[in-house]
Structure 1
Amino acid sequence: MSQDPRVVKAKHPLMTFVPTAYSLEEWMAKWKETKKLGDLLGLLHLLTTGEAQWWWKEAELVSLLLDIANGYDGGYDFHDRQEYDYNNEIARNRQKISEKAFGVLCAKFFNGGARDGGHPLWWWILEHDVLFQKVLWFLRPDRKNYFDSSFYSDANIRHQQEMLREFMREFTRLGWKFSSMSERCYNETTDESVRNRLVATRPQFIEILDQLKELNWLNTQELDEASLKKLVELAMGKSYSFPHERAFSSSNYRKPASLQEAVLGGSVAAQVVLLHRVRERERKRIKALYEKSCKEQKEADRQRALKVLETEQAKLAQMAIELEGQSGKR
C-alpha cells in the first residue's frame, strides 16, 4: 500500500535549517526588540541551556535579570493606568515574565549547588561593587512575602524560594566568615577590598538575617559597633504585645522602652545584643582575673627569686667568714 506523499515527507522538518547559537550581544539585542510573550519566555529559557553557560559571569546580564525578576512575588504592581488592559491580561503576562526570570536566576545564579573551584558560581560578584549592591537591592527586606516559601502552593516555586534562602544564608554570613576570593592563590589587595565591602555591609546582612529568622546565628560571631547599632534599631523599632500594666486595659501593643522589654516581647535582636553585653562583660571580668593572676604570679616569682638570691648571699657570707677564720689560724 503506497503512502500519501502529503503525509510522509522526504526530509525531517528540522533538516531544512542549521540551528545557530546566539552571542550574548545578539541575545540582548533580541530582548530589546521583541514584544511577544512567547519570544520573551523563550529567550529567558535559553539562558538555562548550555548555549548560555559562559554568560553567567556577565554583570550586564545578571543585572537585567534582577530587574526583570523584581516583582515575581507580587511585590510590584505591573498595572499601568494609561493602558487598556482588558481582564488584566497585560499585567498577568508581565508577571509571568518576571516569574520566569526569577526561575532562571534560581537555576543558574542563586543555585549554591553549582560550584567553581570550591566556591559557588556567583562568588565573582563579591569583587563587582555595582552588581553586589544590585543583589542587595533585590534582597531588600521590604519585599512582599519574599522569604516565606510556605506562602506559595506551587511546589516548584517553593523549591525556588528555598534555593534563594540558601543563597541568602551563604551570602550574608560572608560578612563575618569571608577568608579569600580564591582557594588556589592569595591576592592580598583583592581580598582586603572584598573583606572591607562585606564588613561594611553587615547592617544590611543583619536585616536579611532578621527576615530569615536566623539572627540567633550572630550569637557565635564577633559583633562590631555598626552591627550592634542595627540590632538595637531592629529591637527597639518594632511593636510587641506586652502583659497588661493596668486593669481593664484593652491592649498593650507598643514599642519597648528598653532592650529587656523587647526580650519580653520576643525580640531575637534584643536577645543577641544583651547576650553580647553579658559575654563582653564576662570576657572583661575573666581577662581582669587573668591579668591579676599574671601579676600575682610575677610577684611570686620575683619573691622566690629574691629569696633564692638572699639564700645564696647568706651562703657566700658564711663561706667568707669561714675562709677568714681559716686564714687567721695560719
Structure 2
Amino acid sequence: MKEKENMDKELSSLKKKVSLGEISRRDFITRVSALGFAASAPLLLSEVAQAAPKRGGVYRMGLGGANTGDSLDPATNGDTFMINMNQGAVRNALIEVNHKGQAIPELAESLEPSADAKRWVVRLRRGVEFHSGKSLDADDVIASIEHHRGKDSTSAAKSVAESMGKMKKDGSQTVIFELDGGNADFPYLLSDYHVLIGAADSSGKIDWAKGDGTGPYSVKSFDPGVRSHLMRNPNYFKSGEGNFDEVRMTAINDTAARMNALATGQVDAIARCDLKTVALLGRKPGVKILQTSGTKHFTYPMDVREAPFNNNDVRMALKYGIDRKAFINTVLRGYGTLG
C-alpha cells in the first residue's frame, strides 16, 4: 500500500514537471517506464498534453493595493495591483524567481560571474520584442537601470540599482556589470519588481507611461486606481504562457468586497483573502483556494546596542516567551510555517 502511494506521488510529480517544461517528454516517458508504466507511458503523456492551457477567453482579476496615483513607471510601484500588472503582465525583468525560490534567466539568457563575483556578464535573450516591435538590446537594459539612479531619483529601488556598480555594453546583446564588491546574490537584485526593462529611445530615455514592455500582455487602457485592460501579446517569447486573449484587472481594495466579487462571479480570481473567512469561501462550489510559499516573514527586531537588549539573556527570554506555533495557529490561522 505504501509503495503504491509513493509511486502515485512520483507519477503526479512527473506529470507536473513535464507540464511545466521542467523535464522533456523523452525524460517523462523514460522515468514513467522505470516506475513500471512503460505500456501506458504514451497515454499518460497524452493526458498531460490535453490538460495543457488553451488560448482564448477573458481573465478577470480583482486586486487590492490600488491607488489613483498609480503609475506604469516601475520605480513607483509598491503594492499588489501594479506589481501584478507591471511585472506580472506587461513587462519582464532580466531575472525571475521561480516557484522554488531560485533566480533563473528571464530576459537574460545567461549570467556569468567572475571568480570573486564582482564582475557579471549578462547576455540577453535574442529575438525578444517589445509590444511596439522594437527588439530588446543592451541600451534598453542600461537605460532601465539608470532610471533608478542619480541624486534626483525617488525610485524605491535606488539603493538596489546603485549597488549594481558600473555598466557597459559589449555589443548589442551583452551588458557587463562591475560591482564595488563581490555579491553572489547579484542575480536576485535583477529580479526586483521595480527593475523592469523598458524600451529606450534614441536619447537613451524611456517613456514609461507608454507601457511598452516585453510581457505577455500589452496595455489597451489603464485607469489608475480603478482598472486596466490588457491584450495578449502574440509575440511573447515564453512558449505556453500568456494564453488569455484579454486580462481585465479591477481595483477592489476592500478585502470583504474582493472576496464577495469572487463568490458572486464578478471576477475569476483574487489575491489576499481574509484568513478568518477564507475557509468559508473555499466551500463555495467552483471556488478553489490556492496557497503558495512566499518570502514574507515575521521577526522580533531588537537594538542590541541599548539596554536591556544588549543582554543576551533578555533576548533569549523574549524569544522563548513567544509561542510561535500558537502565533501561526491564531494570528495566521494556520497559513504559515515555522522558520
Output the TM-score relative to the length of structure 1.
0.20
- State the structure with more CA Rg: 1
Instruction: Name which structure has the greater RCO, CA cutoff 8 Å, separation 6+.
Output: 2
Structure with the larger strand share: 2
